[in-house]
Each structure stands twice: as C-alpha cells, then as structure tokens.
Amino acid sequence: MPVFNAKYLSDEEIWSRIDKIVQERDEVHRLLAKPEVSTDPCRMPELAKKLNDLNPKCLLFHELRSLVKDLRELEEMIGEKEPDEEHELVSLHREYLDLCRDKALQVYQTLMEMGLLPEEVEDETDLAILKFIEYAGPEYAWRLGINIGLDVAESRRRLEALLEKGLLERVPGNMLEGYHRQKDWIKHMNHTYYRITREGRHYLRKLRRGLEDLSEG
C-alpha cells in the first residue's frame, strides 16, 4: 500500500527527494561545525537560517519514517499471530495507519510548498495544452507552440511531461484520419502528434465539475 497519495510519483521517487533534503540539512550542519565557517560573518548567518528552515521539515520526515517502520512491523506481527490473538494488534494497526496517513499528507504538502514535486501539478499552460488538443485534435510540438504561445523546445518539453503522466499519447502522422476540426488542416507524416487520452479527458471533466461546484456554491 502506498504511503503517499500522489497523482503520478511513486513512493520511491518521493522518498528519494526527501533523502536529498535530509542530506542537504546534514551538509549545512557539518559546515556550521567548522570553525572557519561558524566565525565567518557572511556565511554563518545564511547557513544558520537555512538549517533553521530545514530542521523542522527533516523532523517531520523522520516522524513519518518512524510511523511507517512501526506500521510495517505491526503488519508482520499480525501475519504471525493466530486469529484469536490478532484483535488487539489489528486495532493498533488501524490507529497507526491513520497516524501514518495524516503525517504523509503533511509531508506531501510540505514538499509541494517547497516546489519539489512539480510533476504533481499541471499549471495553466499545461491545462491550455490539454484543452486545445481536446478541442482541436492531435497536434505536433511546433504547431502547438504557435497556438499556445510557446517556443518549440518548451512545447515539446511540456508535451513529453503530459505524456509521462498519461494525459496525452503519441500518434504517428500516418495514423491520423479525420481527427482535426479545422477544414484546412494538413497532416505531416514525418511529425509526431499528441492526442489526449481517456485519462486526460477524465481529468479535464473533473476540473470543470469542480469549477461548476464552486460557482454554484
């Protein structure tokens, strides 16, 4: 069972980013322990401020790791017990599961606020791309960039990111027939086109329903 209720990233990817923050905190702590740094009026205040910012975050990460460890140990213990001995452990497991979920949500939100989970968020440009392709049909990077207002490199980068999330899929030009709504649209066989997936359409529908609910409220 996943620890983080992430949209796209796996637990392993999120823990990897957490580890990098902890390593950064440890490195700052190590530098501050050096006499030549701790007495430096330029470096010391900046590093001390950084350590003060990272310490509570790392404490939060440590608390989650401890809860996850305890939860896994409980699960192992439950598997080893006889059915009539499980009741108390199962009750304790539920309690730890709730604690773990709450703490994981705090960690996830902290990482989002730090800007360390950009893959989990679609910004306005991403949404504009999805909406354009949903309406107009499959498009390739250069033409999409013209319509959305992006250079071709940025257009391609965003298309690939949405592709990895499963919101778009690639389709060769020679596989396209009757998709596009523009009468003067011409296929280019040598281009890679991107079209919206079922998941992408579902995602946009959810967003629209959410906006409708807000307006009605």
Give the least confident one: 26-30, 59-63, 190-194, 209-213: 209-213
21 or 143, greater pLDDT? 21
Do 159 and 91 share a structural domain? no
Q: Is residue 151 part of a domain?
A: yes
Q: Percentage of residues in the chain with pLDDT exceeding 70?
A: 84
Do 138 and 108 share a structural domain? no
Q: Is residue 81 part of a domain?
A: yes
Q: Is residue 2 part of a domain?
A: no
Do 128 and 116 share a structural domain? no
Do 186 and 103 share a structural domain? no
Helix (H) or strand (E) holding 104: helix 87-113
Do 57 and 157 share a structural domain? no
Query: Confidence band (pLDDT; 50, 70, 90) for 65?
Result: very high
pLDDT at 15: 97
pLDDT at 212: 54
pLDDT at 78: 78
Do 130 and 115 share a structural domain? no
Measured N-to-C along each axis, helices 87-113 and 11-32 cross at an angle, to the nearest 10 degrees, of 70
Helix (H) or strand (E) holding 170: strand 168-172
Euclidean distance between CA atoms 86 and 80, whole angstroms: 9
End position of a domain, from candidates 105, 120, 135: 120
Do 136 and 105 share a structural domain? no
Flag whether pLDDT at 63 surpasses 70: yes
End position of a domain, from candidates 120, 135, 166: 120
Do 143 and 185 share a structural domain? yes
CATH at residue 130? 1.10.10.10
Place of tokens 């207002």: 149
Do 129 and 39 share a structural domain? no
pLDDT at 174: 62
Do 131 and 113 share a structural domain? no
Query: What average pLDDT does the chain have?
Result: 86
Q: Is residue 6 part of a domain?
A: no
Flag whether pLDDT at 76 surpasses 90: no
Q: What is the mean pLDDT of residues 88-104?
A: 88
End position of a domain, from candidates 120, 140, 171: 120
Q: Is residue 38 part of a domain?
A: yes
First to last CA, the chain: 35
pLDDT tens, residue by residue, 145-198: 999 999 999 999 999 999 999 999 998 766 565 544 444 445 455 678 999 999
Q: What is the DSSP string of 34-88?
A: SHHHHT-TTHHHHHHHHHHHHHHHHHHHHHHHHHHHHHHHHHHHHHHS-GGG-HH
Looking at the 3D structure of the chain, how many domains does it have? 2
pLDDT tens, residue by residue, 112-146: 999 999 889 899 999 999 999 999 889 889 989 99
107 is in which domain, residue-wise?
11-120
Do 115 and 131 share a structural domain? no
Flag whether pLDDT at 26 surpasses 50: yes
pLDDT at 85: 59
Q: What is the CA radius of gyration of the chain?
A: 24
Flag whether pLDDT at 42 surpasses 70: yes
Do 131 and 204 share a structural domain? yes
